Structure 1
Amino acid sequence: MRADGHYNTAPTSAMVPVKLLRQGFSYTWLIPTADTDGDIVKCRWASATAVVPTNVIADECAGICGTFPGATLNSSSCMMSYTASSVGFWAVSLMMEDYEFSWQTTSMSAVPLQFIVQVYTSSSTCTIGPSYTGTRPAGACVGVDIGQTVVEQAIFTVGCSGVTLSDVITSSPPGMSRGTVTQSSSNPLEYTMSMTWTPAASAWGSNLVCYTPIDSLGQQGNTQCVTYLVAVTAPELIYTSYVNGTMSPVGTVMSTQNVWRVECTKAVNRPSSVAYIRFYQTSTATQVGVVTGTEFCGPQSRPITDPNFWPFNIFNSAAYANMTGMTTSSTTTIIPNVTTQAVSTTTANPAITTTGITVPSSTTPYTGTGPSSTIRTTTTTSSSTSTTSTTSTTSTTTVPPVQILQPSEIIKKCQQPVILGTLLSTTVVGVISSVIYGVFMAKIAASM
């Protein structure tokens, strides 16, 4: 029984029954494992004298313990390394163990795994074996609903020209069917194969689908797997909304923009495999696994094939910098050139003279107090050759004086009507009260 109250599910593997290695080369490959509970899976060499949790000595390898000398095994990652120096066959016996927590020293369960390693010799100059290249990345985790039909395109690439892909060893859950291997018409090194599956309710949990390509030279590529989580819904990026979806920013963005935001349908984690939000010029390029769920191995989001999923324009500062009347600052902010209009000047009109106009020799400034008045000034001008006496009257009408009130005076003026209204209302109320009181007392006297 697990700490979460559920029964434990033992780990599984989709290791190929025969691992092919070419003599004279060193190899490192992954033992493919999966655990429905999402536990930590470790691998170790099987032992003929293993002590099981019930303190019973058990033989885990049935006579094939230690029969693969020179090989090394990384227990935590389940990676095996070997240098194929001799031609022949070797039996390998391992144990897979699952741990609910990283600090645990005793496994929840242990499952035996056995396979054959064959080392062969070849004189071919092609030393690059075939490989699995997509469309799902190796190690991907895919959420699938019960009864949902899944159609995947597996892509493989051979390492050398003139070499073909002869076979693909697949390990898959019951009911999954595979199509024929087809060579690409545009790239002779690339091959595709379709996989179709409609999971039943009995397939709940983790289901491994593994691919091991083999080329015409007998070279075997590394086994790569994709995990399908049945009855677990993968998170999706939300792009249906009232305006522009949940993506930000949109529209025109600066080339220095480095923060991008999009909402998901559920809680997510960073993907364990290499995945990025990639930006393309308008095309049909796709990217899968941008986010992963929190259940088990973390189901990845589906591929995004809509070229209009997140449209935006990158601001072209260079184009604007070349425009007339525009300059670009170091922060790519456009600053328009500002042209200052010339200051207009006034040229004296010679047709207009001041002959006969006297200039006031003095003025009496208006102080703002006193009655309205008219100021008259008289000026006499003369010259050495002739004397011209002209009397000119200039009238200046002043406005009536303005009375300036201080704030305290304004308050007093406002209080006067309030005080008068209060006195008046008090007097009226008092008279009415006296009349009512008199009538009331008269009625009392009459009733006695």
Structure 2
Amino acid sequence: MSLSALVLLLLLVCVQANFYGIVVNYYPSGNNSTGASTGILYYKLGYSLCLYSVPYYINGQPLVLQKVDEPISGEWCQTEGVISQYFSSNSMFSIPASGIDWIFGIKNGIVSFKIQALVELRIRSDIGKANTSPQTTIIPAIRVPSNCPRNLSLLMFDPDGDIVKCRNGDASLSECSPCTPPSVLSLSPSSCTLSFSPTNSSDEGPYAVQLMIEDFPRQNITLTQTNGPQTIITTNDAISKMPVQFVVRVDPAVPSCTEGLFLPMFLPPTPAHRTQLYTYVNQTLAISIKAQTLNSTISELLFSAPHTVTESQTGPGQFTLTWTPSNSVAGQSHPICFVVQAVLGAAKYHSELRCVIATVALPTTSPNTPACEYEGLD
């Protein structure tokens, strides 16, 4: 069974839940002289119900969706599935999937879910191995008050050092259907920032965001298939593409847009957006997060990360995300994103989005390597 059919099956078994988004990331894991290759597909799925730890069997192989996070209200649930896939040849590989409906009332007219990803398996001339896809993650739903300007800066990075850009999905490429972008958001492709400007109460409600992230080489490269064919990729050509889909919910106006009053404000030692952190196999990485509000009550931390990341609350407005990576992710970098949510009566308020890159260093890397700002993201 092909990888595309595998992903499609996993999505269709969940037809009783409504869709809240998807993120797909890919890491190559090996090639051999016959042209075959292997890779690992990480996908995060957002639904209106928490469907996790449910086994599926593909050709006798059990696959399990594991819970990442779920709000106290049960509004959504994000799960992660990890698939190790064998490819009979190292060429390009597409991952189409479609099926269930988005949550009810999407303001930009999106009803049914659809994606089209593209994985590049050929050997790159610049690094001597197969391409790794650009990496990102996001929680299934981000809240913004209708009267406050907000910039949603998505984390996007490339383990191969490529330039990463994002764009709205294209219906002609079967990346979504329809692909109408939210009218209340404007996109900056180079930084992958979604900007929201104050709007009318008539625009309040949920919007489906359907983006594609793509990696572009910093210089012309050659892609080589094991049986000989070569293709030149220029700096204007995308090497691969991955879908990022989620909900932005425009909420009623907040009494003040100043962070720290009603909207949660991050405080030290919360890491800055796009900080890169290092850890090792079987070594625990702890990320401390702190936020405050004066006129609302901080209720919880919402996050998207590898499913083995755990959360604990250490005090009022204080949280810790903990990850002890296994050998299966050695040498990989994984995104971890989070917001703090506050409540006032029935109203819910989100902080800005913060994300970090957690790199599981190989044993040859110095154990004293400090955390640092990640460079070359844009």
Measured against aligned partners, the alpha-carbon deviations of 1:208-258 in whole angstroms (never above 9, x if no partner) come to 121111111411111111111112477687xxxxxxxxxxxxxxxxxxxxx
Distance in 2 separating the partners of 1:75 and 1:111: 14
Distance in 2 separating the partners of 1:84 and 1:107: 34
2:305 aligned to 172, 186, 194, which one?
A: 172
Structure with more helix by fraction: 1
Stretch of structure 1 that moved more, 172-181 or 111-120: 172-181
AA aligned opposite 1:89 = P
Using a 3 Å threshold, how does the CA distance of structure 1 residues 124 and 195 change in structure 2: closer, same or farther? same
Using a 3 Å threshold, how does the CA distance of structure 1 residues 131 and 108 change in structure 2: closer, same or farther? farther
Distance in 2 separating the partners of 1:292 and 1:33: 14
Using a 3 Å threshold, how does the CA distance of structure 1 residues 123 and 169 change in structure 2: closer, same or farther? closer
Find out whether 1:149 has 2:275 as its counterpart. no
Measured against aligned partners, the alpha-carbon deviations of 1:53-100 in whole angstroms (never above 9, x if no partner) come to xxxxx211122x124124221111111112241212211111000123
Partner of 1:323: none
AA aligned opposite 1:227 = I
1:202 aligned to 328, 335, 348, which one?
A: 328
SS of aligned partner of 1:41:
strand
The 5 A counterparts of 1:181-220 are: 182-183=315-316, 191-204=317-330, 205-217=332-344, 218-220=348-350
Distance in 2 separating the partners of 1:230 and 1:151: 13
8 Å CA contact 1:210, 1:224 repeated in 2: yes
The 5 A counterparts of 1:42-441 are: 42-49=165-172, 58-63=173-178, 65-85=179-199, 86-101=203-218, 104-122=235-253, 124-125=255-256, 127-128=258-259, 129-135=263-269, 136-158=271-293, 161-180=294-313, 182-183=315-316, 191-204=317-330, 205-217=332-344, 218-232=348-362, 289=371
AA aligned opposite 1:2 = R
Distance in 2 separating the partners of 1:80 and 1:116: 12
Deviation at 1:141, TM superposition (A): 0.8
Using a 3 Å threshold, how does the CA distance of structure 1 residues 293 and 145 change in structure 2: closer, same or farther? farther
AA aligned opposite 1:112 = P
Q: CA RMSD in A?
A: 2.6
Structure number with greater CO (CA < 8 Å, separation at least 6) is: 2
8 Å CA contact 1:143, 1:231 repeated in 2: yes
Stretch of structure 1 that moved more, 207-216 or 95-104: 95-104
Distance in 2 separating the partners of 1:293 and 1:118: 29
Partner of 1:34: 157
Measured against aligned partners, the alpha-carbon deviations of 1:273-307 in whole angstroms (never above 9, x if no partner) come to xxxxxxxxxxxxxxx75x6799x98xxxxxxxxxx
Measured against aligned partners, the alpha-carbon deviations of 1:304-353 in whole angstroms (never above 9, x if no partner) come to xxxxxxxxxxxxxxxxxxxxxxxxxxxxxxxxxxxxxxxxxxxxxxxxxx
8 Å CA contact 1:140, 1:225 repeated in 2: yes
Distance in 2 separating the partners of 1:15 and 1:40: 20
Name the larger-Rg structure.
1
Using a 3 Å threshold, how does the CA distance of structure 1 residues 121 and 293 change in structure 2: closer, same or farther? closer
Distance in 2 separating the partners of 1:67 and 1:125: 28
SS of aligned partner of 1:202:
helix
SS of aligned partner of 2:290:
strand
8 Å CA contact 2:211, 2:245 repeated in 1: yes
Distance in 2 separating the partners of 1:178 and 1:37: 30
Deviation at 1:173, TM superposition (A): 1.2
Distance in 2 separating the partners of 1:113 and 1:77: 15
Distance in 1 separating the partners of 2:182 and 2:268: 32
Find out whether 1:2 has 2:117 as its counterpart. no
8 Å CA contact 1:10, 1:35 repeated in 2: yes
Distance in 2 separating the partners of 1:122 and 1:82: 13
Using a 3 Å threshold, how does the CA distance of structure 1 residues 88 and 162 change in structure 2: closer, same or farther? closer
Distance in 1 separating the partners of 2:353 and 2:374: 25
Calculate percent identity across the aligned residue pairs. Answer: 26
Deviation at 1:47, TM superposition (A): 0.7
AA aligned opposite 1:151 = A
AA aligned opposite 2:267 = T
Distance in 1 separating the partners of 2:184 and 2:285: 42
Gaps of 5+ in 1: 50-57, 184-190, 238-264, 266-287, 298-448
SS of aligned partner of 1:155:
strand
Distance in 2 separating the partners of 1:172 and 1:89: 23
TM-score between the two structures when normalised by the length of structure 2: 0.55
Using a 3 Å threshold, how does the CA distance of structure 1 residues 122 and 234 change in structure 2: closer, same or farther? farther
Distance in 2 separating the partners of 1:156 and 1:234: 33
Distance in 1 separating the partners of 2:157 and 2:185: 23
Structure with more strand by fraction: 2
Using a 3 Å threshold, how does the CA distance of structure 1 residues 170 and 134 change in structure 2: closer, same or farther? farther
